[in-house]
A = this chain, B = another copy of it.
Amino acid sequence: MTNEQSSRAAILSEALPHIRKYSKKTVVVKYGGAAMIDNEELKRAVISDIVLLSMSSVRMVVVHGGGPEISDLLKKIGKEPVFINGLRYTDDETMDVVQMVLAGKIGKDLAALAGEFGGKAVSLSGMDGGMMRARKLSDEYGLVGELQQIDPSLINVMLDEGYIPVISTVALGMEDAGPARFNINADTAASALAVALGAERLILLTDVRGILTDPKDEASLITEISVSDIPQLVKRGVITGGMIPKLECCVEAIRRGVSKAVILDGRLPHAILMEMLTDGGVGTMIKA
C-alpha cells in the first residue's frame, strides 16, 4: 500500500464516525454574503457538500441571504437602496423586491443547483405554511421584522422525506394582526431555526477565516471558544465589527439548546465537509 493509499485509509477511518454522529441530526447552514455571489465554483462546492451530507442521512437546512441582489433589482427599477443603522429601510415596494429576489430567485436557483448534484432541495420562505411570524422591529426601518414565532413542522416534513429545505427569510405578521410581511435578518433567522429544529449544529458561512487573535495571521485562528470567553475577547478587541452580531446569533442558539455553532470560512472549498468530517474541523467552534 502506497503512502497515498494509507493516508486515504486514515482519512476515511477518521470520517466515518463523524458521519455516524451526524446521522439523522439536523445541521443549519447560513449561506450568504460575498462568498455566495462572487464565485460560481465556490457556490458549487458549498452546495455539493450539502447534498453529499444530506445523502448521508444528515438533515441539512440552508438559510440564505441576498442583500446585493436585492439592491441590484431595486436599482433596476429606479429605487435607491436605503440603509439605517446597517438595516435596509423596507417600504412596501422594497418588500416586494426582497420577497421576489429571495424567494423567487436566489432560493429557487439554489434548489435547482442542488438538483444538479443529485440532491432534492425545496426552496421555501417563512411565509409558507405559517412558518415564520414577526413583529415590526421599529417604525424607523419600515417592514424590517423581529421574529416572534417559528413553526418548524413544514421543514421537518421536508427533512423526514429526504428533501433539503432552502429557506428565504421573509416572514408573515402575527396571526391576530392582519396580513403583513416582514424582511428578516438571515443570521438571526438561521439561529432561531436551529433552535426550533433542535439542531445539532449551526454553521455560519462567512468570508473570513474565523476568529483570529492576530487578524493578519490566519495561523492565529482560535479553533474553539466557550460562550463565556466571548465578552473578554470582545473587550480585548479580538472580536470586532460585523463578527459581533454573528457571535450573538451563535450564543443565542447555544443558550437555547443547539449543541454547537461554528463560524466557517465559506471561501475554503469544501469547508463544510472539512468542518464536519475531520477531527479538528477548520473554523471557530463556539460551545456552551
Contacts and interface: CB of A to CB of B under 8 A. Distances in A.
Interface in A37-65: 48-49, 52-53, 55-57
Contact of A17 (B1, B52, B115, B181): B52
A120 interface: yes
A99 B103 contact: no
Contacts of A15: 12, 15
**Tally of this chain's copies:** 6
Interface string A5-23: 1101111110111011001
Contacts of A287: none
B9 A274 contact: yes
A76 B73 CA distance: 10
A197 to B, nearest CB: 16
Interface stretch (A25-33, A106-114, A142-150): A106-114
Nearest to A1: B268
A5 B282 contact: yes
Interface of A: 1, 5-6, 8-13, 15-17, 19-20, 23, 48-49, 52-53, 55-57, 73, 76-78, 96, 99-105, 108, 111-113, 115-116, 120-125, 127-130, 154, 157-158, 161, 163, 170, 172, 179, 181, 268-271, 273-274, 277-278, 282
Closest 8 CB pairs of A and B: A104-B104, A9-B270, A100-B104, A100-B100, A16-B52, A20-B55, A103-B104, A122-B128
